[in-house]
Amino acid sequence: MDFNKIIEKLPYDKPFLFVDTLSHVGMDGVSGSFNFSKNLDFYRGHFKEHPITPGVILTECCAQIGLVCLGIFLLSENYETKTNDLTVAFSSSEMEFYQPVYPGDTVYVSSEKLYFRFNKLKCKVKMYNAAKELVCKGELAGMIKYSTHGA
């Protein structure tokens, strides 16, 4: 499956799309990156006159790359799918944070599948910065499926 096709199927758009590119996608995991533009609106308030990317946004970035992109790929192995009927729900996150991410930084996320069963995908995720320092890591899980008609 073409990596760009996976990104096209993501149910997000600006200002809440946190995936730029995918560099690896396979049955066992995925890697991708995102550049945090200096113009992102939340930098005006987090923190006052001292912009740092919020941890929840780093978690979201890990989830979009690590869970949703991987989930779309795994589902594509089983189903002929349309673009508009994907349903995702974040169900759990346990993250630890090590390095700050500043406006303009690019981050690299790698995700390793723990299991994908009955539409629940659970992964180990790690995020690195351009200096290859660990930014955050943890375990994320969510439900992902293509709805059938009427369901």
Q: Which residues have a catalytic role annotated?
A: 46
**Residue 89 binds other proteins (CB under 8 A):** yes
* Distance set, CA 93 to CA 43, 65, 80, 110 (Å): 23, 14, 29, 16
Q: What are the tokens at 112?
A: 């390793």
Q: How far is the CB of 108 from other proteins (least distance, A)?
A: 27
> Quick one: DSSP state of residue 130?
T
- Binding to other proteins by CB under 8 A, coded x per residue (else -) over 119-138, reads xx------------------
Considering only residues 45, 49, 118, 151, which one is a binding residue for other proteins as defined by CB under 8 A? 118
Q: Give residue 59's identity as a one-letter amino acid code.
A: T
Token readout for 6 is: 């996976």
**95 is a site residue for other proteins (CB under 8 A):** no
**Would you give the distance in Å from CA 100 to the centre of its chain?**
18
CB 70 within 8 A of CB 109: no
Q: Please pick, from the candidates 16, 92, 98, 100, the single residue that binds other proteins as defined by CB under 8 A.
A: 92
Calculate the CA 48 to chain-centre distance: 27
Residue 91 in contact with other proteins, rule: CB under 8 A: yes
- For the bound state, the minimum distance from the C-beta of residue 119 to other proteins, rounded and expressed in Å, comes to 7
Residues of this chain that bind other proteins (CB under 8 A): 89, 91-92, 115, 117-120, 141-143
